[in-house]
Every structure is written in structure tokens, then in C-alpha cells.
Chain A
Amino acid sequence: MKKLMARHETYVLTIIVIFSIVISIINPNFLTLENTFDLLKSYAFTGILAIGVLLVLISGGIDISFAAVATIAEYLTVSVCIAMGGSMVSAFLLAIAVGVLLGSVNGLLIHRFSIPPIITTIATMNLYYGLLIVITKGKWIYALPDFFRSFADVRVITLQTANGIPYGLSVITVIWIILMVITALMLKYTRLGRSIYAVGGDRISANRVGLNVAGIQVFVYGFMGAMAAVAGIVQALLVQTVAPNSIVGKELNVIAAVVLGGASLAGGIGTVFGTFLGVMLLAIVQNGMTLMKVSAVWYDVFVGLVIIISVGFSSWKQKTGGRRVKIDVREDLPELAAAYGGSGTDTERENH
């Protein structure tokens, strides 16, 4: 129980529960299965990006370029699929290859030239995105291949509303969940996963115990690239158009969700479950505001407040709980004085 209290996830979960209750009192449509499935589908995009960001943050780095990477992977893959055909599998594989390539470039640059990751990835963000706009001239793609359209509608579980409209658990949500499970297992049960925590905890120590810090860094940014690519395809599936400028600009939202979920910008700390909660909290805030008919302009204000309260509260908790030395204070001073002569108080000194 004590352990549970100390965990950041517990706070986020509590906030989620409170929000859900408040929102559903105002609008009972919120806590329906239909709305839940819908949220889980539309936030798969943010959620998948968040998995990648999580790994980067745990390793002690940061990535700003992932939205650009996602867009390039998405645009390139859809263009290739339109020109040469293919299937959903080949689309994902191609996108991932592109994502891993662009992500690893980040990792290599950061390692090779020891430029701070934030600067490196701001630079590559501009570079990647700039090249994309130059080459595509900013053109949108409207006519996606048929298999994009049909795949987006696949449901793993199908239910019906009272008036006969089908809804259910989308295959997109399933992709997100699978990626979360794989990542969580990797982080917890593989040497690589634990090494990422170690590098984020203390890079010099990691080097000293013989970890391949360079390799781990490249992996983390490559993995971020892969997640960005999958998210890019998911975005295409969700909106059924490809716009070169639709994703870029969402970076900070994703990073915010991950931090909200308990990951530390200083590195070494974070879990997949926490990240999931962070994403869902943002989703609920946004969705709830729509359902409560609060103007969308308040969204950012609200998200800012939620982040400050949630992150602030848990680090305040850590700070106050910081020094927990417990000393079993002696109560037998007179006996001790009798046995050894002299008691500790130096009051008698004042008389001489």
C-alpha cells in the first residue's frame, strides 16, 4: 500500500478517475463503451509516439524531430503504395525502415559529435521537414490506396449501439496495445531494456560497468524512429489523407503526455503503463471538454494546469519524504549518567 502511494502512476490514475466522474456527471455520454473505444482509437497515434519518446527520455535524451520523421515515413510510404501497390504489411515495414534510418541518424549524430540531443534533433527536425516540403512542395495526398481505407475500419470486437450503428475495438487500438506490451516487456525483462535505465541513470557509471553506451543511444533513437513511422501510418489510417504539415507541431503535446505519465526529463525514470495513463489523461481532458461544451481554446490552459499539479505534486511528495532517517532515541539518560559519570547536557558549564 505504501509503495502504491509512492508511485506517480497512482496519482495520475486518481486524477483520471476524478475527471471521469465529473465529466460523466455533466455528460453521461462520456463513460460509455462507445466513447471509450473511440478515444482508444483516436489517441493511438499520440500513444504510439509516446512509447518512443518514453524510451528516449529514460535514456536521458530528448527528441524533437519525431513528428518530422513520422511525416516523412507516412508520406513516402503512401506515395510508394500508390505508385507500386502493396499491402498493409509492406506499408508498415517500409515506413519502419525509413523511421529507423532517420532515427538512427539522430542517435549517431548525438553520439559522434556529442551535441546535446535537444539541439541535434531540432536541427534534424528542420532538416527532415524542410526537405519534405521542398520535395513534395507541400502537396496533400487525398486518394489513399484501398487497403488503407478497408484496414482502418477493421474491428477486433464489434458491438452495436441502440440504434444499430456498429462500433468496437479498432485494429488500430490493438496495434497500439501490442506495441505497449512488447515495449513494457522489453524494458522490464531484457538486458537492453535495463541498460536503457542504467544509461539514463548515470552515463559514466554505465560506461564503467562495460555497457555499450553508444549502441544503446543509437538503438533508442532508432526505436523512436520506428514508433514515429508506425504512428505516421496510423495517422494516415485515421484521417485518410496525408498532409505534410498535419503532425509537425504536436511534439510538445506528446512529450507532455509522457512526462505527465511519470517519466523524468532528467532520465532514468518512466514506465509504459505510466505513459499510457499520461496519454489517456490528456485524451480525457480534451474529450471531456468537448463533451462539456467548454471552448477548445481552454484546452492548452487546462493541460498546463494538469501537468503542473500532477508532476508538481509527485515531486513535492518525493522532496518532503526525502530524508527519512529514523533514530531510536535513548530514554535512559539518568541510568547512563550513573553508570559512566557525566551526562551530556552542557548546561552546568555555564556556571564556571
Chain B
Amino acid sequence: MENLFLSMQGINKRYAGVQALDNVDFAVRQGEIHCLAGTNGSGKSTLVKIISGVVQPDPGAEIVINGNRVHHLSSMESIRNGIEVIYQDLSLFPNLTVQENISISETVSSRRRIISWKKSRETAKRAMERIGINLDLDAVVSGLSMADQQLVAISRALTGNLKLLIMDEPTTALTKKEIDALLAVVLDMKAKGIATLFISHKLNEVMEVAERVTVLRDGKSIGCFSSNELDDKKIEYHMTGTTTTYSPYHAVPDTGQVPLLQTRELSKKDNFSGINLTVYPGEIVGITGLLGSGRTELALALFGLNPPDSGEIRLSGKPTVIGSVKQAMHHGIAYVPENRLAEGLILDQSIGKNIVITVLDRLLTALRFIDKEKVNSRITHSVNELSIKIPGPEAAVKTLSGGNQQRVVLAKWIASNPGLFILDNPTVGIDIAAKSSIHAVIKQLALNGMGIIIISDEIPEVLYNCNRVLVMNRGRIIREFVSRDTTEEEIQAFIEATAV
């Protein structure tokens, strides 16, 4: 008998219209590093919520923690058993400081009624030291970048009497360096007998450390595999039943035309400087570089959210000032932000309404009423185009799995049919199979004459989907690669060599 920390049998969870989990068995050994894989909507987060006691399984489930049968697992009970979760949406308190966010689990589970701010500060400091970061403890979390917020969430999980740490896509917004630090902590915890359960779509990252992998497909468990018998292709096969291959995008845009976008010496103090960027119709330009290289600031400048101090923007040859989002949209520019889940959706509204919100004015009848039929066909088209897994267009967006919510945001902006489409990390949190279908959609849009800018941390993503790859570093474009003439390794080596 192996030493199981957690064992679950016969887990079912049904939501209106969806069997999120279908008779799943699952187990985590003590001190094990375990990975949970599956496509978007396969039930990973639901399983995690059951383990953490936030969601109750349907009757008939059997849960054993540390050899003790648990009849009703509440969130308090789960925390007392040493289970901590870093959620996909981070679950932070935007109004509180970094310090309070990190120490709150400990505050809640300790039975002291009076708070010691000194102690809470020490707790927070210690947790940050464990992953080697140093954030301002008094900063309010809502003002932090996504990456910093993620670090806060991770630090919080490290404060208690940990036995099992669950990370629901923990690495999406982290740099390579931070991911390495995190994996080092996980290995260090393993040495202390603490188990880790990873959920990640960036599998290669996790496979470096994982020992076993459980694969879910459509709410069913496909099986639990030892990680050394798996590679990317095999996992993808278990997850989806098929495998895909990357096809590079080399359709050459007609550079004789007037460029869609041309910037000249675009600068903004403390953000970026001397940016000369040209995008032709039908061209896909990739921008990569480390986090904090000014990529997002540049994108925001093109979308009217971060107006530059000097330089010129020409749209289809005409000098243009983009002072607001409204103007940007008027000029046919669309921007899918990095922090999509927070900025892009009205969570309580239906999926359908979220998709058509930007284009309602194009879906009117002759009498300027909303044309139900046009709306519905638009929605159906978008849902199929991005293979969004939904119970029905009337369901609220918040009931979708994380990855499917992201696809709704993409669908919304694609529906607006922009001339210039800027995507900031468009496939973060999206499973491998869906990733390639999103890439196919983007390439098709370009073939139809749209100009596209893809910002991404993942070099393969920009390399295989773009005509050109620009590397940004500390506010400047420091090099341009033509995709056809370069390799993943060359770009990676260049980025590492120029990193400070």
C-alpha cells in the first residue's frame, strides 16, 4: 500500500447542462509532484474546487485524507488538513495590501481574535523569501501587475502548515526566472514531504518536475501515467484523442502597399523609446521579450490607453493621433489585453451578449431594432470558429472554464472585424489543441488582409505564426528576426544574451 495523502473515489459533479466530472477517481501520494492535464473545460478546476472544499461533489463520493474518511469537506476543513490552492483567478483581495493578502490564510486559521501586524508582516516576509521575491508589503494588490499578483497568491499558499499545494495554472504570467524559482520551491517542499498538484497548459515546464500525470477528458479520467512514459505528443493524444503539428506562417504580405500601421520614433518617458514599427495588411508581426520590456505599454499606446509623448503614428499612411480607446476602435484597432479575465468580460452576462457587445450596431434590422437572427448567427459562427465549449449561448460567462472564457474574449474582438488586431499573449491558459485552432483563426484573418500584432512570451508562438519577430528589451526594439531565416534557439539565445 503506497502512502496516499489524498484519495478520491467516484467523484461526480453535475452543473445545469454539463457533467463537469463523471465518476472520477483520483489520488495524490505524500510528497508527490502530480500534474493534472486536460483540455479547456475538461473538469480540472472543478476537481480542484472539490479538493479545496469550495464545491461539494454529488452524493456517493468517497474522500480520504491522510487515512481519514472525510464526510463533508468544507474549505475550512481542507485548509486545516494542510491543503492550499492557488486559483486560476488568483482569489486575492484587491483592496488589501500585499502583506494582508499573504498572511490572511494564517490569520483566518489561527484562532487568535486580535491581529498582530508585526507577526503578519513577518509571515508575509518569510513567505516571499521562500520564493526569493521582494514586493512592497504595503502596496495595495489592485495596483500590482498580473505577474506580481500571481507571486502574492503563491506566497500566500506557502504560509500555512502545508501538506498539499495545488496550483491552477500558476505560471501563466511569470517570467522564466520566476518559474524556475517556483519549481525550485516545489522540489524543496517535496523534500519536506509536501505534495504539489499542478494544473498547467505549459506542459513542458511542469514535466521537468512532475512524477505522475492524471489526464481528464470531458469530465472522465483517462488514467494516471508516470511522467517518464509520456512526452508532449502522448499527453496531447490522451487529452484530445488526436495530435496536431505546427505549420509556419510564411504567406508574404505585399510590402508595396501603404502600411496599415507605421510608427516613427514613438516614445514615452519611462515606457518605450524610438519605436519604428511597420505592419502591412496581411502581415503578422510578433513582439517578444522579457516581461517588463515595454511590450504591453507599446500595445496600450497603439490602443489609446497610454498616449505617447512624441513620435508619429500613421494609419494607412495618414498621421493619426490615438487619444482614447474610442478613437482606436473607430480607426479599426482592436486589442485583446493580457489580463483578459479581469478586463475583457462581463462575467454575469450571457456568453452570447459578451460576444456581440462590440458589434451590436452592425446587427440591426432596417428599423434599427436588434436583429435576433443576425445576432444568433454571429454568435454561432464565433462559437464554432474558436470551438468554444459552452452549454448554450444563454449561459453566464462566469460558468465557463477559464480557457473557454478567454476564447469568448477573442471571439468578441474578432467579431468587431478590426483592421489592426493586437493580441497580448493570446493563448495563455488555452490548451494545446485549442491553441493551434486559435492560431489557425489568426492566420486566416491575416490572409483576409487584417494586420496583426502578436505579443507573446512563447517564442514558438511568435516564430511559427508571424512573418517577423521583434525583440523588445527595456523599452526598445533591439532586433528584428525574419521568421523564415531564424530558429527558436537563435531567438532564445539572443534574448538570454541581452537580458540584464
Contact = CB atoms under 8 A, between A and B. Distances in A.
A78 to B, nearest CB: 35
Interface string B406-435: 000000000000000000000000000000
Interface string B121-165: 000000000000000000000010100000000000000000000
Contacts of A350: 255, 278
Interface string B77-93: 00100000101000111
A106 to B, nearest CB: 23
Given A189-B114, A194-B107, A208-B52, A330 B478 contact: yes
A14 interface: no
Nearest to B104: A209
A201 B94 contact: yes
B114 A190 contact: yes
For A267, A343, A344, the residue with the greatest tally of chain B CB atoms inside 10 Å of its CB is A344
A327 interface: yes
Contact of B76 (A210, A267, A326): A210
For B79, B85, B145, B270, the residue with the greatest tally of chain A CB atoms inside 10 Å of its CB is B270
Interface string A299-328: 000000000000000000000001111111
A340 B497 contact: yes
A198 B468 CA distance: 46
A191 B108 contact: yes
Contacts of B100: 194
Interface string A199-225: 011101111111100000000000000
A191 B468 contact: no
Given A194-B115, A205-B91, A329 B277 contact: no
Nearest to B265: A345
Given A190-B115, A194-B100, A208-B85, A201 B479 contact: no
B293 A327 contact: yes
A347 B79 CA distance: 57
B297 A191 contact: no
Contacts of B96: 197-198, 201, 268
A268 B141 CA distance: 12
Contacts of B494: 340
B292 interface: yes
Interface in B162-190: none
Contacts of B10: none
A323 B300 contact: yes
A268 B94 contact: yes
B437 interface: no
Contact of A208 (B75, B113, B274, B473): B75
B371 to A, nearest CB: 33
A133 interface: no
Given A208-B75, A209-B79, A340-B497, A345 B477 contact: yes
A323 B306 contact: yes
Contacts of A193: 115
A349 interface: yes
Contacts, number: 146
A345 B255 CA distance: 16
A23 B397 CA distance: 54
Contacts of B93: 197-198, 201-202, 205-206, 268
Contact of B95 (A210, A269, A330, A344): A269
Contact of B271 (A194, A267, A327): A327
A168 B273 CA distance: 64
A209 B160 CA distance: 11
Given A197-B95, A202-B94, A327-B475, A191 B114 contact: yes
Question: Chain B interface mostly helix, strand, loop or mixed?
Answer: mixed
B439 interface: no
A210 B271 contact: no
Given A200-B95, A344-B479, A327 B112 contact: no
B83 to A, nearest CB: 11
B478 A343 contact: yes
A338 B477 CA distance: 15
B95 A327 contact: no
Interface residues of A, number: 45
A158 B266 CA distance: 69
B478 A344 contact: yes
B interface bracket (residues with beta carbon within 8 Å of A) = 35 or more
A190 B54 contact: no
Contacts of B472: 344
A190 B113 contact: yes
B303 interface: no
Nearest to B106: A209
A209 B108 contact: yes
A202 B94 CA distance: 7
Interface in B243-277: 255, 270-274, 276-277
Interface in B454-500: 468, 470-480, 494, 497-498
A328 B145 CA distance: 17
A16 interface: no
Contacts of A352: 255
A192 interface: yes
A195 B297 CA distance: 36
B293 A210 contact: no
B105 interface: yes
Contact of A346 (B115, B474, B480): B480
B256 to A, nearest CB: 11
Interface string A119-161: 0000000000000000000000000000000000000000000
A336 interface: yes
B286 interface: no
A204 B297 CA distance: 31
A57 B494 CA distance: 52
B188 to A, nearest CB: 24
Contacts of B470: 344, 346
Contacts of B305: 323
A325 B478 contact: no
A345 B297 CA distance: 18
B115 A189 contact: yes
A146 to B, nearest CB: 41
A183 to B, nearest CB: 15
B349 interface: no
Contacts of B476: 329-330, 333, 344
Contacts of A188: 115
A79 B121 CA distance: 51
6 contacts: A194-B104, A198-B93, A205-B93, A322-B143, A325-B297, A342-B480
Interface of A: 188-195, 197-198, 200-202, 204-211, 267-269, 322-330, 333, 336, 340, 342-347, 349-350, 352
Given A346-B480, A347-B276, 7 more contacts: A191-B113, A191-B115, A211-B108, A268-B95, A344-B471, A345-B274, A346-B470
Interface of B: 52, 54, 74-76, 79, 85, 87, 91-96, 100, 104-105, 107-109, 112-115, 117, 143, 145, 255, 270-274, 276-278, 292-294, 296-297, 300, 305-306, 468, 470-480, 494, 497-498
List the 9 closest pairs (A to B, CB-CB), nearest first: A344-B477, A268-B95, A329-B475, A201-B93, A201-B95, A205-B91, A210-B76, A330-B474, A345-B276
